């Protein structure tokens, strides 16, 4: 009888050991990514944005399906780790940045900042919401307006693969050129990038005003905060009421703000990734 129990115990331990291996290794090819994707026909993010400029900037039907077998490769510069970037990751190479919309939470768990990936674009859609370049699938809202929105996670899993190990040191923000804040070409080429605006102040920082209160939220559950010396049509810091730091008071005094610099039409919108992106 003791021998039988010993054999059962050994079998259970082996089973648990196998299960733990899968659970503790989320970046394995069996869990995430498509290992069949190889680097064969890579174009830069800048080339992609140029090729689909008409769709990204269109007022109606701002999207187009990718018919060619092309890829982009870059490092993740932003994700949903503190809830301010929702259902999206930000991908950047040496030439530019772009958002990839994915209908899945906890993206930071397997797509951390610094991870290099390759994305097979064939059959996905490139377009824009407010002229911000993004990748995903079409979605039509209640007003009958269609734009590029979140693809389901199964589709996404078939379209990307990992390229090496995570290297956060290779993700460095560019300094935002304030002199080009109204430059349309700078807006087009740099929206979607990780950047830092230096030496600015929050206009409403009084020790009590927070990043994003529910009482001030817009239809997208977000709040825009202005910076001193700029209008709300030039640049804002945009924060979701669901962000972990939404209830934190706006920092007072001069700060440097890092984030994903997106656009809504001709307005820069800074998406802070974590509260540590604001430094005095």
b/e sequence 95-126, b meaning 16+ C-beta within 10 Å: bbbbbbbbbbeebbebbebebbbbbbbeebbb
Take residue 238 and report the two structure tokens written for it.
């945009």
Q: What is the pLDDT of residue 24?
A: 39
* Residues 207, 269 share a domain: yes
* Residues 120, 65 share a domain: yes
Is the per-residue pLDDT at 31 higher than 80? yes
Question: Considering the domain boundaries, does residue 256 fall inside one?
Answer: yes
* Residues 238, 122 share a domain: no
Q: Model-level pTM?
A: 0.89
Rounded to 5 degrees, what are φ and ψ at 168? -65, -25
230 contact partners, CB below 8 Å, separation of at least 6: 181
Is the per-residue pLDDT at 162 higher than 80? yes
Q: What is the pLDDT of residue 221?
A: 98
Per-residue pLDDT tens over the stretch 107-159 = 999 999 999 999 999 999 999 999 999 999 999 998 898 999 999 999 999 99
Question: Considering the domain boundaries, does residue 25 fall inside one?
Answer: no
Is the per-residue pLDDT at 161 higher than 50? yes
Q: What is the pLDDT of residue 11?
A: 43
Q: What is the pLDDT of residue 100?
A: 99
* Residues 275, 186 share a domain: yes
Per-residue pLDDT tens over the stretch 231-260 = 999 999 999 999 999 999 999 999 999 999
104 contact partners, CB below 8 Å, separation of at least 6: 87, 153, 156
By CB atoms closer than 10 A (0-12, 13-18, 19+), residue 35 is: exposed
* Residues 115, 143 share a domain: yes
Q: What is the pLDDT of residue 16?
A: 39
* Residues 136, 110 share a domain: yes
Q: What is the pLDDT of residue 3?
A: 43
First to last CA, the chain: 69
52-66 mean pLDDT: 95
Banded pLDDT at 18 (limits 50, 70, 90): very low
249 contact partners, CB below 8 Å, separation of at least 6: 205, 207, 208, 209, 210
Of the three residues 126, 143, 170, the one that is the final residue of a domain is: 170
Higher-confidence residue of 13 and 108: namely 108
Structural domain including 262 reads 174-279
Is the per-residue pLDDT at 29 higher than 60? no
Banded pLDDT at 227 (limits 50, 70, 90): very high
The conformational region for residue 216 under phi > 0 = left, psi -120 to 50 = alpha, else beta, is alpha
Average pLDDT, the chain: 91
How many domains would you assign to the chain? 2
Per-residue pLDDT tens over the stretch 174-219 = 999 999 999 999 999 999 999 999 999 999 999 999 999 999 999 9
């Amino acid at each position: 009888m003791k021998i039988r129990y010993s054999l059962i115990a050994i079998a259970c331990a082996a089973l648990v050991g196998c299960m733990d291996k899968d659970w503790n290794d989320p970046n394995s090819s069996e869990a995430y990514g498509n290992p069949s994707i190889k680097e064969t026909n890579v174009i830069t993010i800048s080339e992609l944005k140029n090729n689909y400029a008409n769709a990204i900037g269109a007022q109606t039907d701002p999207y187009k399906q990718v018919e060619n077998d092309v890829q982009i490769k870059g490092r993740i510069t932003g994700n949903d780790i503190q809830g301010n970037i929702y259902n999206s990751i930000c991908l950047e190479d040496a030439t530019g940045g772009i958002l990839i919309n994915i209908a899945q939470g906890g993206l930071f768990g397997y797509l951390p900042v610094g991870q290099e990936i390759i994305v097979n674009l064939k059959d996905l859609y490139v377009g824009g919401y407010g002229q911000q370049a993004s990748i995903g699938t079409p979605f039509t809202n209640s007003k009958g307006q269609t734009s590029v929105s979140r693809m389901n996670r199964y589709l996404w899993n078939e379209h990307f693969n990992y390229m090496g190990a995570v290297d956060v040191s290779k993700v460095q923000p560019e300094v935002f050129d304030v002199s080009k804040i109204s430059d349309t070409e700078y807006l087009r080429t740099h929206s979607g990038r990780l950047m830092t605006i230096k030496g600015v102040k929050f206009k409403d920082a009084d020790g009590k005003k927070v990043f994003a209160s529910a009482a001030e939220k817009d239809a997208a559950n977000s709040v825009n905060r202005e910076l001193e010396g700029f209008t709300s049509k030039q640049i804002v810091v945009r924060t979701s009421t669901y962000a972990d730091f939404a209830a934190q008071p706006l920092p007072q005094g001069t700060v440097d703000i890092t984030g994903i610099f997106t656009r809504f039409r001709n307005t820069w919108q800074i998406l802070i990734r974590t509260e540590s992106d604001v430094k005095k």
